Each structure stands twice: as C-alpha cells, then as structure tokens.
C-alpha cells in the first residue's frame, strides 16, 4: 500500500485456529467449487486480483483462501514482494519450495500470478552484515530494520544483493506457465543522502554539464557567491537552495531509480519468457521522481490507487489514471487499491456500499486492464493491522466480499466486449515533472499547487470531451485537436520546437498561467513568458502577481457564464504585440495594475491556434473557458446530453466502441443513448439506461 500516503500521515504469523474448522465447513456448504487451471485457459482481458501473502499463514490454510478467491471471481494473485526473509532466511540459503507450491495452488484455482521481487523489505541479516546498504535521511540519521524501504537505492552492494535475489527468482519462475508478470520492488519512495550518493550526484552532474564553467553559467552561481571550483564542493539540496541544484537533484533521483530498477529488470528479462511482463507499482501524483524516466524500460505501467480519507473524487482519481496511462501511452494496471478503507489516513472511513464497485469500473473506463485489492486477508500483526481486506483475520469474508464478488462476475461477463479496447482522445493535457518541481520549490503563493492547477483545466475538459490523455510535453501531438499545458513552467528548446510544430501543423495549443518562465536549468528565460513561444503567441506576460483575494474577470468565451468569472491565487498581465491577436478576457477592477488589462489572448497561426490564459480561473470561469476551447477546436462529446454527475468512459477497439457509464450523483439518473446499444452486463439492447447512485452500465456499439 502507498508508502507516500502512510509516511505523510504517520512517518506493512501465527493463525487463529478457533474458527478455522467451523469456517471450512461453512464454505463447503455454501460454495460448489469447480477448479479451473490457469494453465489450460487464456488470460482474461480484464482481471480482478488481490495481494496474497502465503508466507504469513500455515500452508493448511491456503486451500480455503484460494477457494474463496475463486468464488469471488479473482483471477490474479500478487505475491512475494515482502518475502525476502522467507525466500533467503540466511545469506546464500534459499527456500523456493513453498513459493512453488503457492504458485501451483493458485494456478489450480484458475488464477494467474504476478511475482514481486522482495527488495523493498531487506532481511535483518542483510542490513546487519552490510550496514552500508542502509539509507541515510536528510538529517543524517541511518535507517534501521523493523520497517521497510530501509535500503539505500544508490548503494552498489545492495544492488548486487537485489540483483541476485531477482535473478534466482527469474530462473525459478521465468518459465512457469502460471506466472504472467513481475513487479520490481514496491512503491519507490525514499532517496538516500549519504556521502556516497552525494558523490554519485556530483559525477552525474559532471556527465551532464561537462565542465564546471558550463554548470556555473547555467546556475548563475555568482549569485550569493555560490560558484563551484571543484565537483566535490556541490552539495545535495532538495528543499531550499539554488534552483539549478534542486531540479537536477530530482533528475538524478529519477535516473537512479531507473538504474536501480534496470539492475533487476535485466536479469528477469534474461531468464523469463517474453510473455511475462515487467512493471512496478507507482503512486499516481507522487512527485519523488519523474515517472516518465522510470517507466520507459517497463512493459506496462501500473499504480496503487487509494482514496484514503473521504470518498472517490472521479476528477482527481481519473486524472491520476490518465497520467499513468500516459506513462506508456497504453492501457495500464491498478496493482493495488483499497478494499473499503485504509489505515494510514487521519480518519480511515469506509467507502460507501456500491462505491468500491463504482471505483473498479471507473478504473476500467480510464484504461485499466486489471484491478487488484490490497490486501486479501488481515495480517495478525504488523504496521497495517487495521487496513481494509476482503477476508478478516479469522479467515471469513468481510461484508465487502459480496460486492467484490459482483465485480468479479461482471468483469468475466464484460471481458469479451472490452478485449482489445482502450481509451482514445482528441484532447491532451501536458504534464511535466520538471515544471511541477520548479513551481513547488518557488511557489510564490503558498496555496499554489500545480496538480490542482492541472485539475482545474482537466475537470471541465473531461466532463465535455469524456476522454483526455495526459502526456509529457515531448510526446507526439499531431493526433490531438486540442493540447492544453497548465503551468508548463520549464520549457526547453526541444519542448518549444515540439509545441511550435504542433501549432503550425494545425493544432490548438492552450498555455496556462506560469508557462514558459524557466529554461531547462530552472533559470529564468531571457524572454518574458512564455519564453520561446512569445513570437508564436504574438504577445507576452508583462508581469505576474500572487493574489491574496479573488479578482473579477470579464470575458468573451462564447458563454454568458463568463461574465461572472473570478481569478484566484495568481494573475498575469498580458499584452498583445501583433495586430491579429484577439483579447478573450480582461481583468476587472483589482490592484490598479491589472485593471482592464488582458488576462487571456488567442491567435490563429496558419491552420493552427495558440491561446494563453494568465489567471487561475474559478470553477465557473474554467467551465466557460473549457467550452470555448473544445468548441473552437472541433472536439465533440462521445455521448451527448449526459446528466451532471454521470461519468462516461469510451474504450475503442476494431470496429467497436464500449462505453462504461458510472453514476456518481447522489440521485438516480437516466442516460439517453444516441443509438441502440447492447447492454453487456444486463443483457438486451437499450436506447437508454437508468442508474442508481454508484450504478454502472457497460454498453457496446458498432463503430
């Protein structure tokens, strides 16, 4: 489960025998189990899974657990990622026999296996014998055994040991027909601040810049007399410091996680069938490293999808799905998700009845091909005893089990229709870790959050277009009618060339506030915003202002609603330098400097268009601006006239489109369809569907 969230809010055995015989009798009377061997069937196109830790339980218990999984429609089990001390109880002494039996047992129950390399939890013998493998935190304190992720991701000895265990696992299971994939480690999170890692950072900088003269120039080190005269003088700075060091430290961390991962990935690939995919479980909006950098060597992207306190936000959560799908620009997996509630939030409330099912279909709609619950059964001890599960510590199902069983039945029913389908979008939002980091290091307004900025654009655009890709600014863009770049703070020459070419080829580029302030070294651009795109825009930002209060905005975005717009947090005074630049909106009376000045401008460039929006609009303003962007770019809804609160997720395949529809409104809603469609879950052909709160429909149409 998410280390990021757990660390944010706080800093993962023996059986219960008393109920065990009674429970076995109970399940025997309730279920008629017909084992399905995973070796004799193809992998389903849509998988329901769970994390199972057989090493925590007596082997005599496995059959009961696997029978319950099978009856719930679970077709994938994820295991092994915390089992290093069981696999290698002392250095060089291995025990894979139990894992062999666990994999085989899962296969007999019609389940496929994803194996995790156990390197997120090194055993005590390892860190005791090789203390240099322990990471050092920002304050210089050495990590200790007793939690997880106590290892140093840059330490060569740890990498040697991690590669060794991964290689042995791959040789043992790389051709096992039940094993369909590998997860490397678990939720990369903590960097190390030890002297050796600092030395590696300095060497990385030398490789990047070549000479100290180039580095000093790029970082403007004469400021505060920060000039460096030897590489070993350069410190690690990750909270406050020279902007050049800050941004490059994050890049170094990203490259180090990539090489850490590649160290294991190489030996798995050398010893495993090509059919076995390799991934790792990322964490959505986590900003500790550049996910594009780390994902490039993987076969598929995967992430751990948790709500925590509160309830599912389809906008923020949906954007995280789209972000993950954009890492490889293809369908992804939800490797972990919460079965009702977690244990690490301030208040660990449960999702409402029906909400877990709605969340699962929300995942599938955004392009997930697997949804897996963490975890199957409550551990009897450990840091996450209170975390939600599908089966309690006594081995009997919790109330949520029946809802997950319904999901399993529906995934099996809808799988053939969804096979070979994926989301397809006319709209892309550009997302950049460099830009997020640059803004977070110098927020200028403490309430400025670059993720919230992105979501302010995403929400109205997704509601209307019903599908959005989130991709890096270096991605190929020619297939999109509209490309929106909220807060693209760092624009390199390569990014500028990509965006200019997109507009010249007929696309519509919309830049949001704070775009084009920085170059690739996190230094200010020598031109005013948007830097290298000023000539294309035909205008520029004359000044930026952090706001304490909202200010009025009057505009013409083709909607009467735009007359009541407000700007918050941030405002930029724009100027139009070319005669063909159109002013879309102006500030009302505010601080004097902004009164009556342009806040949004647009310009046609050949067959294309570029627009700049210089203020953080309120929700009403973003609705008006979003409608204008989509309309002028020729983007239409996949399904028109959908009630408020109903989410539509189209997935396209060869000559077909499948619509996943989920009602997140508090009341029942009816969706009228433009043509008759096959109701995949309920059967029959429908011209409309009525959905209760958290209701789901899966509809198939010929394209």
Q: Which tens digit of pLDDT belongs to each residue from 336-383?
A: 999 999 999 999 999 999 999 999 999 999 999 999 999 999 888 888
Whole-number pLDDT of residue 19:
33
Residues 6+ apart with CB under 8 A from 556: 562, 584, 585
DSSP structure class, residue 607? T
Mean predicted confidence (pLDDT) in 583-612: 96
Cα dihedral 460→464→468→474 (10° resolution) = -70
Convert the pLDDT of each residue in 130-174 to its tens digit: 999 999 999 999 999 988 889 999 999 999 999 999 999 999 999
Helix (H, G, I), strand (E, B) or coil at 40: helix
Convert the pLDDT of each residue in 42-74 to its tens digit: 999 999 999 999 999 999 999 999 999 999 999
CB 407 within 8 A of CB 357: yes
Task: Check if 88 is active-site.
Answer: no
Whole-number pLDDT of residue 559:
54
Cα 17 to Cα 57, 219, 390: the distances in Å are: 11, 64, 19
Helix (H, G, I), strand (E, B) or coil at 415: helix
CB 311 within 8 A of CB 351: yes
Three-point CA angle 311, 312, 314, nearest 5°: 150
Task: Check if 336 is active-site.
Answer: yes
Residue 384 has pLDDT above 90, yes or no: no
CA distance 387 to 367: 27
The CA-to-CA distance between both ends of the chain, in Å, stands at 39
Cα dihedral 307→311→317→321 (10° resolution) = 70
Residues 6+ apart with CB under 8 A from 457: 429, 484, 486, 510, 512, 622, 626
Whole-number pLDDT of residue 383:
86
Three-point CA angle 190, 196, 200, nearest 5°: 85
Mean predicted confidence (pLDDT) in 597-602: 97
* Strand 696-702 relative to strand 669-679, pairing: antiparallel
Convert the pLDDT of each residue in 191-228 to its tens digit: 999 999 999 999 999 999 999 999 999 999 999 999 99
CA distance 372 to 376: 10
Residues 6+ apart with CB under 8 A from 475: 326, 329, 428, 430, 498
Cα dihedral 542→548→554→558 (10° resolution) = 90
Q: How many CA atoms lie within 13 A of 685 on its CB side?
A: 6
Confidence of residue 682 (pLDDT cuts 50, 70, 90): very high
DSSP 293-362: HHHTTSSS-EEEE---SS---HHHHHHHHHHHHHHHTS-EEEEEE-SS--SSSSS-PPPPTTHHHHHHHH
Residues 6+ apart with CB under 8 A from 574: 539, 540, 541, 542, 597, 598, 599, 600, 601, 612, 614
Convert the pLDDT of each residue in 601-616 to its tens digit: 999 999 999 999 999 9
Convert the pLDDT of each residue in 237-247 to its tens digit: 999 999 999 99
Tokens for 349, please give them: 């409330």
CA distance 400 to 82: 25
Chain centroid offset of residue 585 CA = 34
Whole-number pLDDT of residue 563:
58
Mean predicted confidence (pLDDT) in 522-544: 97
CA distance 703 to 699: 12
CA distance 87 to 167: 13
DSSP structure class, residue 268? H
Catalytic residue among 187, 355, 623, 647: 187
CA distance 42 to 346: 43
Mean predicted confidence (pLDDT) in 404-431: 98
Confidence of residue 10 (pLDDT cuts 50, 70, 90): very low
Helix (H, G, I), strand (E, B) or coil at 377: strand
The pTM score is: 0.93
Mean predicted confidence (pLDDT) in 382-402: 93
Whole-number pLDDT of residue 377:
93
Mean predicted confidence (pLDDT) in 649-662: 97
Give me the chain's average pLDDT, please.
Answer: 93
CA distance 430 to 323: 10
Residue 3 has pLDDT above 60, yes or no: no
Confidence of residue 558 (pLDDT cuts 50, 70, 90): low
Convert the pLDDT of each residue in 83-111 to its tens digit: 999 999 999 999 999 999 999 999 999 99
Residue 324 has pLDDT above 60, yes or no: yes
CA distance 556 to 521: 37
Largest CA distance in the chain: 83
Percent of the chain with pLDDT over 90: 90
Catalytic residue among 55, 167, 336, 403: 336
Domains of the chain: 3-193+236-418 (3.20.20.80), 427-633 (3.40.50.880), 646-702 (2.60.40.1180)
CB 397 within 8 A of CB 339: no
CA distance 539 to 68: 64
Percent of the chain with pLDDT over 70: 93
Whole-number pLDDT of residue 39:
60
């Amino acid at each position: 489960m998410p280390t990021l969230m757990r660390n944010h809010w706080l800093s993962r055995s023996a059986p219960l025998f008393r109920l065990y015989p009674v429970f076995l009798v109970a399940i025997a009377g309730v279920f008629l189990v017909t084992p399905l061997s995973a070796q004799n069937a193809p992998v389903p196109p849509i998988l329901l899974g769970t994390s199972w830790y057989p090493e925590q339980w007596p082997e005599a218990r496995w059959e009961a657990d696997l029978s319950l999984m099978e009856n719930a429609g679970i077709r994938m089990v994820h295991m092994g990622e915390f089992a290093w001390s069981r696999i290698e109880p002392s250095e060089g002494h291995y025990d894979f026999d139990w894992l062999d039996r666990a994999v085989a047992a899962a296969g007999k129950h019609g389940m496929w296996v994803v194996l995790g390399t156990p390197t997120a939890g090194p055993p005590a013998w390892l860190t005791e014998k090789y203390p240099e493998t322990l990471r050092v935190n920002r304050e210089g304190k050495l990590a200790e055994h007793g939690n997880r992720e106590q290892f140093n991701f840059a330490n060569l000895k740890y990498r040697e040991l991690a590669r060794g265990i991964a290689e042995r696992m791959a040789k043992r299971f790389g051709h096992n027909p039940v094993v369909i994939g590998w997860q490397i480690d678990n939720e990369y999170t903590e960097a190390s601040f030890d002297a050796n890692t600092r030395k590696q950072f300095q060497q990385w900088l030398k490789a990047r810049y070549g000479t100290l003269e180039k580095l000093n120039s790029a970082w403007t080190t004469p400021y505060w007399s920060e000039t460096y005269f030897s590489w070993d003088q350069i410190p690690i700075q990750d909270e406050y410091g020279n902007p050049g060091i800050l941004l490059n430290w994050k890049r170094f961390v990203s490259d180090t996680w990539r090489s850490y991962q590649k160290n294991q990935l190489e030996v798995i690939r050398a010893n495993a069938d090509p059919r076995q995919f390799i991934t790792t479980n990322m964490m959505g909006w986590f900003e500790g490293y550049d996910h594009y950098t780390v994902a490039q060597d993987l076969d598929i992207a995967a992430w751990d999808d948790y709500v925590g306190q509160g309830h599912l936000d389809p906008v923020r959560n949906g954007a995280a799905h789209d972000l993950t799908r954009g890492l490889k620009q293809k369908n992804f997996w939800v490797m972990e998700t919460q079965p009702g509630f977690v244990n690490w939030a301030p208040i660990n409330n449960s999702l409402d009845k029906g909400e877990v099912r709605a969340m699962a279909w929300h995942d599938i709609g955004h392009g997930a091909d697997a949804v897996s619950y963490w975890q199957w059964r409550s551990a009897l001890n450990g840091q996450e005893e209170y975390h939600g599960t599908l089966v309690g510590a006594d081995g009997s199902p919790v109330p949520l089990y029946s809802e997950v069983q319904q999901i399993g039945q529906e995934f099996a029913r809808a799988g053939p229709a969804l096979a070979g389908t994926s989301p397809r979008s006319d709209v892309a939002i550009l997302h950049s870790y460099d830009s997020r980091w640059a803004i977070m290091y110098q927020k200028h307004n403490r309430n400025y959050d670059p993720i919230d900025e992105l979501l302010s654009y995403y929400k109205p655009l997704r509601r209307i277009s019903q599908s959005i890709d989130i991709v890096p600014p270096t991605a190929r863009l020619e297939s999109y009618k509209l490309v929106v770049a909220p807060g693209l703070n760092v624009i390199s020459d390569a990014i500028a060339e990509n965006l200019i070419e997109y507009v010249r080829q007929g696309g519509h580029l919309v830049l949001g506030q704070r775009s084009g302030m920085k170059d690739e070294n996190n230094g200010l651009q020598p031109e005013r915003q948007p830097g290298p795109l000023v000539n294309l825009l035909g205008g520029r930002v004359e000044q930026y202002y952090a706001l304490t209060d909202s200010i009025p905005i009057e505009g013409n975005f083709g909607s009467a609603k735009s007359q009541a717009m407000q700007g918050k947090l941030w405002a930029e005074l724009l100027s139009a330098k070319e005669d063909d630049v159109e002013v879309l909106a102006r500030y009302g009376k505010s601080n004097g400097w902004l009164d009556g000045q342009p806040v949004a401008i647009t310009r046609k460039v050949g067959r294309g268009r570029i627009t700049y929006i210089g203020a953080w609009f309120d929700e009403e303003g973003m609705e008006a601006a979003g409608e204008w962007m989509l309309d002028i770019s020729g983007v239409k809804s996949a399904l028109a006239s959908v009630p408020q609160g109903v989410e539509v997720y189209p997935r396209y395949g060869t000559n077909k489109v499948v619509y996943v529809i989920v009602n997140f409104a508090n009341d029942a809603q009816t969706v009228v369809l433009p043509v008759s469609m096959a109701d995949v879950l309920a059967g029959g052909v429908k011209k409309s569907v009525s959905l209760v709160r958290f209701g789901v429909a899966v509809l198939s149409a010929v394209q």
